[in-house]
Structure 1
Amino acid sequence: MNPRACTSLQNSSGDLLADRRYAYAEACLSEGDAEGAAEMAEQTLEIAPRYAAAWFLLGRAREARHLATTDVAHHHAALRAYGNALDLDPHDELGARLRLVQIGEGATLGAISPAYIRALFDGYAARFERHLVDDLHYRGPKLLVEALGAVAGAPASFGDVIDLGCGTGLMGEALAGRTRSLMGIDLSPGMLVEAARRKRYDRLVEGDLGPVLDGEPSGSADLVVAADVFIYVGGLGRVMTETARILRPSGLVGFTVQWQAEGGLVLGADARYAHGDRYLRRMSDEAGLDLVSLDPAAIRREREIDVPGRIVVLRKPPSPAP
C-alpha cells in the first residue's frame, strides 16, 4: 500500500510555461531519464523559484542520478533540493522529510508527516478498498478479529470500540454486529467521506491519532483497534499511553504492524515503519498493558510476496479487588 496522491502543492506553479516544463520533467523521470528530468526541473525553477513540487522533483532526479553514478555531487544536490522543498512546504505535504531520511539525512521518527499522509490517502480513497483487497490480498481486519476472538473469555460483543486510522472502514466491516458503538479516526477527509457513505461507524473524527485520543474521556472504550496504520506512525509511545488511559479495566487493544527481525523500529525503503518484537514488548510495558498475543502473520502481499507482519493483542489489567 504505497499510493501517490496529487497534492495541492503539485497542481500548478501559477505560471503556464513553468507548468509545462514541470510536466516534461515528470515525463522524463517516469521514462528513466533522470538527467533530462533534472534539467527540466531546473528550467521550471528558473521561472518559478518558489514552486515546492519542482524542488521535490529535482531532488528525486538528482537522487536517481546519484544511484546511477555514485557521484556524491548528485547526492548533495538532492539534499539541497529536498531541503528547499521542505522550506517552501513546512507541513511537508510532499514528503521531502521522508526522502531526506531515506538518503541518510534526518531523524527516523517523525519522517512521515501528517500532511503527507493526508494528501496521500485523499487521492487514494475512491479506489482504496479495491486496491487493498484485490491487488494486495489484504487480510488485516479479518486476522485481527480472529485474534481478538481467540482471547480467553472474549465477549460476543466488543462493546465501545475505537478504530484508529479507520480509512474507508474495512475494520468496521469486519467488526459488524459485534460492537455497541464504533468510532473511527482518520487524518484523511477523503477516506472519512467513503467511510460515512458506507455507514459503518456511529461516529467519525478527522485528525491525528494523538490529539484526538487526548480528547477522549478516560475509561470510555472497551476495545481499540488499528489495522495497518502503525506502518505510518512509527513511534507508538504516545498512542499506547493514551489508549491505555481511555480503556476500561480489562479492555483490549488489537493492532497489526509490519515486522522486522532486529527487534527495534526502522523506516524501510518502502517508506513504511516496521516494528520488532522487542520494541512492541517495551511499548506495551511502558503503557502498563499486558501482552496477550504476538503472532506472525502475512497481512498483505506486494509483488506477489508476503509482507511479514505481527498481529498484537494487549489487555489493560483488571481493577484491583476491593
Structure 2
Amino acid sequence: MQLEARLQEGITAHRSGNLEAALAAYKDVLTDNPDHPDGLHFLGLLHFDAGKPENAIILIRKSLEQNPKNAAACNNLGNILKLSDRSDEALEAYVRAVEIEPRHQEAWKNISVMLEGATNNDDLLPILREIVRLDPDNANAWHNFGLSLMLAGHREEAADALERCLEFGAEAWSDPVWHARVLCALGRQERAVEHLEAVVAADPDNKVARYQLAAVRGDELDQAPEDYVREHFDGFSDSFDDVLKNLDYRAPELVAGEVVKLAALRAAPFRDIVDLGCGTGLCGPLIRRYCDKLTGIDLSPGMLRKAAALNVYDFLVEGELVGFLTSDLPTHFDLAVCVDTLCYLGNLQPFMEALCSALAPGGILIASVEHLDDPSGPDYRVDPTGRYAHTPAYLRRSAEAAGLDYTKEKTVVLRRELGKDVHGLIFELRKPDSDDR
C-alpha cells in the first residue's frame, strides 16, 4: 500500500508539472521493486516529457513485459513511436491496445489517423475482422475495418462496412460527414446523400454537413461558404499537422521549393511575402529566411493560433482572401504563396483580380491546386470531398483576364489520401512591371 501511495504521489506531481518530485517518487517505487510495471510506465512518460523519447520507449516496453495487458501503456507507447517517426511500430502498439481493450477510444482514433496515410495494412485487416465479429456493436472497429478494407482494395466489402458505421448514428462520430465522403469515393453516392440529408434535417445549423451535401449532390457552387471553411478548419486545427503528416502531404515543400529557386535569382530577399490561407503555418518556416516581412492570412482562428506559436510571421490576419487583398493594405506584396487554399474556390476570377491589385509591379504568386485533367469538361469541379479541382487552361485564362501573366506550371502529387495519389499543379503568375505594358 505504501508503494502504491508513493506511485500516486509521483503521478500527481507529474500531472501538475513538477517533474523533479515525480522523478523522485518513481525512483522510490522502482528502488523497492525494479520490475514495477506502472513505475516503469510512468517513468517512461516522464523521460518523454524531458525530451528523451528513446529512454521512454525502452522503459514502457519493459513495463509491458511485466504487464502485457496494459492497453493505456500500449497507446502511450504508440504515441511516442509515432512522434519518433516509427509509424509501423506505432500502429502495432495501437492495435495491441485495442486487442486488449476493444473500446479504447484514444487508440482507435490513433489507428484511424494512421490508416488514412497507410499503403499497407495486411497484418491489421484480419485483426479488425475478428474484432467486429466478436464485438459487432463497436463503432470504431467498424470504421477502421472499412478503411482497412478500402486500403486493401476490397471496395464493395469496405462500402458495406462503412454503411454499417452510419447505423450507429451521426452522434457516434466527431465528424459525421466523413463516411459520406468516402462512400461517394466507393460508388455509394445515394447512401451518402441519404445520410447527409438526415444529418442536416436533425441539425439545420450544421454548416459543414450542408455544404458537404451540396458537394455530394453535385450542386453548382462557385466556392465553399466562408462559414463552412472556418468551422471545418477550426474543428480540425488541433490534429491538422498530424493528419497531413500521415498523408505524406508535400504541397508546402513543393511551393517553398519554387520560392527558393526565385530567391536564388535575387540579390536581396523579398521585401513583403504574404501566405494566403496560411493555416497552421506549414509553409511559413520554409520561406521565412527569404523575406524581410511575412504576413499570413486565414479564415480560421484555430489555425492562426497554431501559426502564431511558430513565431515566424510578422503579421497574422483573420479574414477572407478576396476581402483582404482588396482592403486598404499598407503595402503591395512582391511575392504571394497560396498552398491548397484555392481548392475551396471554384470561380477564381474575383481572386485573380484582387491578387493583381495587391501585388507590386513584378510581383509573383506561387500556388497549388488540385488538377482537373478533363480538357473537354468544365473549368472547375467540386468533388465529394468538398474541394475544387481546376483545369490548367482555366488557371491561365482567369489569370490573363485579370491582367496577370501565367508563367509556369508543373504537375505534382500533393498527398496520398485513402490509398490513392492526389494529383495537383504548382503554378506561377506574375504581375507585369509598369514598363512591360
Give the TM-score taking structure 2 as reference length. Answer: 0.55
- Residue 309 of structure 2 corresponds to residue 197 of structure 1: yes
2:165 and 2:304 map into 1 onto residues whose CA distance is 40
Residue in structure 2 matched with residue 256 of structure 1 by the alignment? 368
- Residue 258 of structure 2 corresponds to residue 147 of structure 1: yes
2:288 and 2:259 map into 1 onto residues whose CA distance is 14
Do 2:338 and 2:366's aligned partners in 1 also have CA atoms closer than 8 Å? yes
Residue in structure 2 matched with residue 224 of structure 1 by the alignment? 336
Deviation at 1:149, TM superposition (A): 3.8
Percent identical among aligned pairs is 32
Residue in structure 1 matched with residue 270 of structure 2 by the alignment? 158
Deviation at 1:211, TM superposition (A): 1.6
Q: Which amino acid aligns with 1:130?
A: D
Residue in structure 2 matched with residue 167 of structure 1 by the alignment? 279
- Residue 290 of structure 2 corresponds to residue 178 of structure 1: yes
Do 1:29 and 1:37's aligned partners in 2 also have CA atoms closer than 8 Å? no
Residue in structure 2 matched with residue 19 of structure 1 by the alignment? none
Do 2:211 and 2:228's aligned partners in 1 also have CA atoms closer than 8 Å? no
Between Structure 1 and Structure 2, whose CA radius of gyration is higher? 2
Q: Which runs of 5+ in 1 are unaligned?
A: 4-23, 45-52
1:311 and 1:300 map into 2 onto residues whose CA distance is 13
Tell me the alpha carbon deviations over residues 38-67 of structure 1, each in whole angstroms, 9 at most, x when there is no partner.
7967xx9xxxxxxxx9xx88x96xx99xx7
Deviation at 1:161, TM superposition (A): 1.0
Corresponding residue to 1:113 among 225, 229, 234: 225
Deviation at 1:224, TM superposition (A): 1.1
1:103 and 1:320 map into 2 onto residues whose CA distance is 48
2:420 and 2:167 map into 1 onto residues whose CA distance is 33
1:238 and 1:315 map into 2 onto residues whose CA distance is 17
Tell me, what secondary structure is at the counterpart of 1:176? helix
Tell me, what secondary structure is at the counterpart of 2:347? coil
- Residue 237 of structure 2 corresponds to residue 125 of structure 1: yes
Change (3 A) 1:76 1:304: closer
Tell me, what secondary structure is at the counterpart of 1:148? helix
Q: Within 5 Å, which residues of 2 pair with 1:239-278?
A: 239-263=351-375, 264-278=379-393
Q: Which runs of 5+ in 2 are unaligned?
A: 1-112, 114-136, 146-160
Deviation at 1:116, TM superposition (A): 1.8
Residue in structure 1 matched with residue 248 of structure 2 by the alignment? 137
Tell me, what secondary structure is at the counterpart of 1:288? coil
- Structure 1 or 2: larger strand share? 1
Q: Within 5 Å, which residues of 2 pair with 1:2-41?
A: 32=161
Q: Within 5 Å, which residues of 2 pair with 1:62-73?
A: none
1:260 and 1:40 map into 2 onto residues whose CA distance is 34
Change (3 A) 1:39 1:126: closer
- Structure 1 or 2: larger helix share? 2
Residue in structure 2 matched with residue 98 of structure 1 by the alignment? 212
Residue in structure 2 matched with residue 315 of structure 1 by the alignment? 430
Deviation at 1:321, TM superposition (A): 7.3
Deviation at 1:283, TM superposition (A): 1.3
Give the TM-score taking structure 1 as reference length. Answer: 0.72
- Residue 417 of structure 2 corresponds to residue 306 of structure 1: no
Which of 27-36 and 223-232 deviates more? 27-36
1:85 and 1:288 map into 2 onto residues whose CA distance is 47
1:100 and 1:28 map into 2 onto residues whose CA distance is 29
The structure with higher relative contact order (CA 8 Å, sep 6+) is: 1
